[in-house]
Amino acid sequence: MLIKRNPNGIDLPFASEITPREIFESRRTFIRQLAVGSIAGGALFDMASRQAFAQSASAHKLAAKANPAYVVMDKTTAYKDATTYNNFYEFGTDKADPAEYAGTLKPRPWTVAIEGEVKKPMTLDIDSLLKLAPLEERIYRLRCVEGWSMVIPWIGYSLAELIKKVEPTGNAKYVEFISLADKKQMPGIGSPVLEWPYVEGLRLDEANHPLTLLSVGMYGEVLPNQNGAPVRIVVPWKYGFKSAKSIVKIRFTKDQPRTAWNIAAPQEYGFYSNVNPAVDHPRWSQASERRIGEDGLFTKKRKTLMFNGYNDVASLYKGMDMKKFF
């Protein structure tokens, strides 16, 4: 028997080889229907049902080649945990709110405008973004400022690929990411907890780092609504709120962007927000973390790693005071 091996040496399937969730759920529904006798005459599927099932199977699946350069040895977080425990304040402030309320988000049609200090400003639809560079599967840790973490197989490509296409001018020093803010689709918009739309930003060299991912999927599928569909940024060495979701505009600027959490509580959320166990949040320690779905309430917390373990980014901050520029 041929056993496929992941780059980390563990005999597990790649996320892209796992049965998509909607197919699994469709099969469960089908079995329940069989049990109550709702499918009669011994015909398991008529032609229309087979076609609908095939369309469902392909609608959300993304083909992506696993990149062995971006694999962590940690156990991957279960899909259910990664999609039901989220921060996405556009849909509510409770961790369960995004999964419950994000069904109102319409990820198609969708466009992303790239503008500002670039020679080639453009507006791309989601299909154009999908084709801009070969899609890769990368397994990244994600660390939340609140003290929890996950390990997720993301799908996308380095943001640097998009940056090359638009050709930043010599004035471009920062990249600003602006998320959708639509009250009709996002019931949390209007809440006074943050200024809307949600804005995040990176220095240009951070945005150009190969680790910075323009993500369009996870677990072999397109991004679920609650995880930032249809396109988001993933910056694995920074706290999770730096990874902007449901992006509609990317702007290149001369000046440091005013970001959502830095505006709301500058004493708690610095612009850089690199994972740093030596710099505590004013209300809790950052020295340790709890892995969602893996570490129980009474399990000893694991130590937080500097830069979330992505030490090759350290050269970006040479000579900087990591406590002053937190």
At residue 138, the 3 state secondary structure works out as: strand
pLDDT band at 181; cut points 50, 70, 90: very high
% of residues, the chain, pLDDT over 90: 80
pLDDT band at 298; cut points 50, 70, 90: confident
pLDDT higher than 80, residue 176: yes
Tell me what the pLDDT averaged over the chain comes to.
Answer: 86
pLDDT at 59: 56
> Which of 5-19, 56-70, 103-117 is least confident?
5-19
At residue 209, the 3 state secondary structure works out as: coil
pLDDT at 56: 37
User: Which residue in this structure is represented by tokens 């397109």?
Assistant: 222
Contacts of residue 318, defined as CB under 8 A and 6 or more positions apart, other chains included, come to none
- Pair 245, 228: CB distance under 8 Å: yes
pLDDT at 297: 82
Contacts of residue 223, defined as CB under 8 A and 6 or more positions apart, other chains included, come to 107, 215, 216, 217, 229, 230, 231, 232
pLDDT at 230: 98
- Pair 275, 304: CB distance under 8 Å: yes
pLDDT higher than 90, residue 69: yes
pLDDT higher than 80, residue 267: yes
Domains of the chain by range and CATH? 21-58 (no CATH), 65-317 (3.90.420.10)
pLDDT band at 173; cut points 50, 70, 90: very high
At residue 233, the 3 state secondary structure works out as: strand
Report how far apart the first and last C-alpha atoms of the chain are (Å, whole number): 51
pLDDT at 159: 98
pLDDT higher than 70, residue 256: yes
pLDDT, tens digit, for every residue of 91-148? 999 999 999 999 999 999 999 999 999 999 999 999 999 999 999 999 999 999 999 9
pLDDT higher than 80, residue 229: yes
pLDDT at 285: 95
More confident residue, 17 or 285: 285
- Pair 155, 129: CB distance under 8 Å: no
Beta bridge partners of 141: 151
CA pair distance 23, 230, nearest whole angstrom: 20
Mean pLDDT of the 206-216 span: 98
Beta bridge partners of 177: 200, 250
- Pair 6, 73: CB distance under 8 Å: no
pLDDT higher than 70, residue 163: yes
User: Which residue in this structure is represented by tokens 């150009």?
Assistant: 208
Q: Is the dihedral of CA 256, 325, 161, 132 positive or negative?
A: negative
CA pair distance 292, 77, nearest whole angstrom: 7
% of residues, the chain, pLDDT over 70: 82
More confident residue, 290 or 25: 290
Q: Measured in whole angstroms, how far is the alpha carbon of residue 8 from the centre of its chain?
A: 22
Q: Which of 253, 213, 246 is nearest to 231 (CA)?
A: 246
pLDDT higher than 50, residue 156: yes
Beta bridge partners of 116: 252
pLDDT higher than 60, residue 166: yes
Q: Which two tokens stand for residue 63?
A: 């083909």
Q: One-letter amino acid identity for 188?
A: G
Runs of H (alpha helix) within the chain? 21-35, 47-59, 79-84, 97-101, 126-131, 159-166, 204-208, 260-264
pLDDT, tens digit, for every residue of 20-50? 444 434 433 333 343 434 434 444 333 333 3
